[in-house]
Structure formats: C-alpha cells, structure tokens
Amino acid sequence: MPGVERLSVDQAVREAVRAAELDIPCIALFPYTEPGLRDDAGSEALNPDNLVCQAIRAIKKEVPDIGILCDVALDPYTSHGHDGLMRGNDIINDETVEVLVRQSLVQAEAGCDVIAPSDMMDGRVGAIRAGLDAAGYTHVQIMAYAAKYASAFYGPSATRVGSSKTLIGDKRTYQMDPANTDEALREVELDIAEGADMVMVKPGLPYLDIVTRVRMRSACRPSPTKCRASTR
C-alpha cells in the first residue's frame, strides 16, 4: 500500500522515537519472516532472537517508555500460511494454543507490553493469561482479536507479513462468518471471561454494528475501563 513499508530493526527504532515525540503511547509490531525460516510448525515464532524480539529489545533500549503490542499467531511463520498448526487439511486447536502460549512468553521476555492473539483458536486467551501469570508477567496485557471475520480486507496485511503467497486454502474454518453476528458477542464474552483486557472487532469499519453491540453488552458495563472495544 502507498506509504506503507517494511522496516529494518534500526528503522523501526527511528520510527518508535518519532512516535514517542508525537506522544503516541503504543506501537504494534508485525514481522515479515523470510521463506527459508518458515516451516510447518512455525518454529521461528519461538526463537527468542527472531525479528520481532530483536525489534522489541532495540526499541525498548532507545525508547523505554513507549508501549509495544505484538501480534500472536503463526501465519507469519508457517510454510502453509495458516494461523495454527495443521494435521492434514485440518487446523488443530489445542496443539496450536500450546505453541501460542510459548510465543507469548518469548515476546513478553523480550519486553512486549501487550499480547494480541489474532489466531482465533478456542481457549487461547485463558491459556495465554495463565502462562503469562505463571511466568511472572502479570503486568503484560492481552488485547484479543475477539471478533475476527473472514474477509478480503486482509489482503494488504497478509502481503505485509508474507502469508498471502504461502496460504493454502482459506481461513474460514476458524475466522468468523459475517452472517452470524450473535457469534461475535459470544466470542467477546468468552475472551473477557478468560482474561482479555481489551477486545477487537476486525475489520472494524464494515462491522460498526458489531462494535456497537459489543460496547453495549452487559459484560462491559461493570468495568468500562477494563473492557474497551477496538476496531481495525
């Protein structure tokens, strides 16, 4: 997309400095993984010296007070381009969640402030929260992609992380059906119950009705500062 570029670590540090000067409180990092580092298991996601972790450490060294949000999913790291592990043609949920917890811990150890699971596996928010807490990262927040619809709007994002060229099939079996709006509310409530600090509706603009319904749900009312709806 015009004006959107992949950055090296040193360039990312410069952009983080600029963001801090503009009083931007938090930046999000998304990696592009070279094809040679991708495999069926997404192993590079667990490398404590992968591109994301290098960027986190470099940015925190130069701009320690800026917040860093990191995506948690396997699609930037898998050779098949899916967010989870596969057995044959099926995404395997529980085994994927175990890997996502380990990925979250690697990022938290590097200095990430907000973990943002975008994979849409069942139960991953609770598992990540438990894993972070057990490792002493109780201060690390979770922003859950709670309602993430299967959508053609993700084309630029998939190109950015390099998964558009590797994706086998599509992601409709674990991303959400736009025709089933009630499912979004159930997913949001589950993620909040599992410990999410923030929830996201993605893509946001075509689903402002869902954003409104999420915001109005009683689950958000007891603690309006705890439950914040985000759009992307």
Hey, which residues are catalytic here? 148, 202
The residues, ordered by sequence, that sit 6+ positions from 227 with a Cβ below 8 Å of its Cβ are 192, 198, 199, 219, 220
Q: Is the dihedral of CA 88, 42, 162, 79 positive or negative?
A: negative
**φ/ψ of residue 150, rounded to 5:** -65, 120
CB atoms within 10 A of CB 186: 12
Based on the number of CB atoms within 10 Å of its own CB, is 214 exposed (0-12), middle (13-18) or buried (19 or more)?
Answer: buried
Can you point out the beta strands (E) in 40-192? 67-72, 86-87, 90-91, 114-117, 141-148
